[in-house]
Each structure stands twice: as structure tokens, then as C-alpha cells.
Amino acid sequence: MATAKKAPAKKPLPPALASRAKALHEASAATHLKAARAALARAKGALQGAERGLYEMALALRDLDAPKLLAAIGYATIYEAADRELGLARSTVDRLRRAADAVDAERFARLGHTRINAMLALADATETDDTDAILAEKTIALWPGGPSFVVKGASSRALDDAAAQVRAHLAEEGAPSDRRGNRPAKEDVTLAARLTKALHARSVEVTVTARATKPGAGARFEVDGLDADGVTALLAALARPKARTP
């Protein structure tokens, strides 16, 4: 039976050639690394540029969300205008505006509206008033005495998972539905809507929003869209004589 012939062993390269091959390999790897980093930097820059554009869009939508302006272009609501003119769904409009209301342009561009909304959803879920801490990317406790969560560097998926964990914990603890999460009470939302309607009746085109503070505490009411004309109209309305009661 014939035996298989062994392949001749490869002779090592001469030291000079080996050194040359190593240098060429390292130079090629360095070139690839430089090109990859440059492409990644361009991609990140383009993404931040897109987020800045979305921030400006959110501000423009907020400015447009006034009955007189919408009526001037033939629309009843900002959602109808955004759908017809920009192809934006109602949920997209709400997410963009909420993210833009929460942070400034620089942080909006750096974090991205998707991650900001995930951070706000986590703040909604937790019992404490930790919105500012979460947006500042600080480490928080998911509930009093509960596990810590490192917000800095957390992905949108991780933030969503943390919010789900909080909701599951509160459900297990049997917390009342109005205590599950950092949300304004229904009566506060109604009060904000009444004030918005009353101001509109006095030609003060603003939107009043009830923002939750912490469980058991009253909401904080924010006035959005109050420009110089609105301030003038509001002052004029306040200056009117009070109606006498019989």
C-alpha cells in the first residue's frame, strides 16, 4: 500500500521580506481603520444633522399649532396639516413635539428623538419625579429600594425594557392605576384643557399642559406658545373689570 507523500514544509521568509510583509499588513490595517472611522464619523454627522432638522420641524409644528394659523391654510388641527402637507402620522407629530419640548437643540441632536422618547417613557413609568435626572443621563433607582439603572449609554431598547420592568413591579405591588407611573391626574388634564379653551376665547392662542410631578402631588401647568402678542392679550384680559355677582 502506497503511503501519501508529505507536503514539503514551507520555508520561512527571509527576515527582510518578513519585516516588509508585516509593515505592509500593518499599513493596510491602519488605512482600513482610518477609512472606517471617517465613514462612521460621516454617518454620525449625517444622523445628527437629520435630528437637528427634526428638531426644527418640531418647533415649526408647535408654532403652526394655533387655530388662526391653521384656519388660514385651511386645516382644523395640526395633525391634519402634518398629514396632508408633510406625510406625518399623529403619533410621529406627538413624539417629535414631546422630545423637542423636553430638551434643547444640541441634546436633541445628540440623543435623537427616539431615545429621548424612550427616556421620557421611563420617567412616565417610575413613581418618582426623575424626568430631569433621566434626561441628564444620571443613574436612577427604578423604584424606592429597587435596582439601579444606568441611563447614560443605555439604548432605546434597554430604556423600554426598564420601563416595562417598573410597570411589572408596580402591578405586582398592587399599586393603584393612577399611581403607576409619573402621569398627571385626569382632573389636572381636564383643568389644563379648560384653561386652554378659556384663553383661546380671549384671543390668547396658547396650549396649557398638565405635567406630573410625583405621586400624590399636584401637577405642574406649562403654557406653550405664549409670545409677546399672547402676553399682551393675556394682560388685557386680566385688566378687564371683574363681573359683579348679584
Q: Looking at the whole model, is its pTM more than 0.85?
A: no
In angstroms, the Cα distances linking 81 to 2, 74, 204, 232 are: 86, 8, 21, 28
Q: In angstroms, rounded to a whole number, what is the distance separating the alpha carbons of residues 185 and 180?
A: 11
How much is the pLDDT for 162?
Answer: 92
pLDDT at residue 154 in the model: 94
3-class DSSP state of 243: coil
pLDDT at 230: 73
Among 189, 207, 187, smallest CA distance to 197 is for: 207
Distance (Å, whole) CA 95 – CA 84: 18
Strand partners, 222: 209
Cell numbers that stand for 95 in this block: 413624539
CB 136 within 8 A of CB 119: no
3-class secondary-structure state, position 2: coil
The whole-number mean pLDDT for each consecutive block of 10 residues of the chain, a chain of 246 residues, reads: 62 75 78 80 75 89 91 91 91 89 91 92 87 93 93 93 90 63 70 81 76 66 73 78 53
Nearest-angstrom CA–CA distance, 37 and 224:
42
Closest among 162, 149, 83, 169 to 122, alpha carbons compared: 162
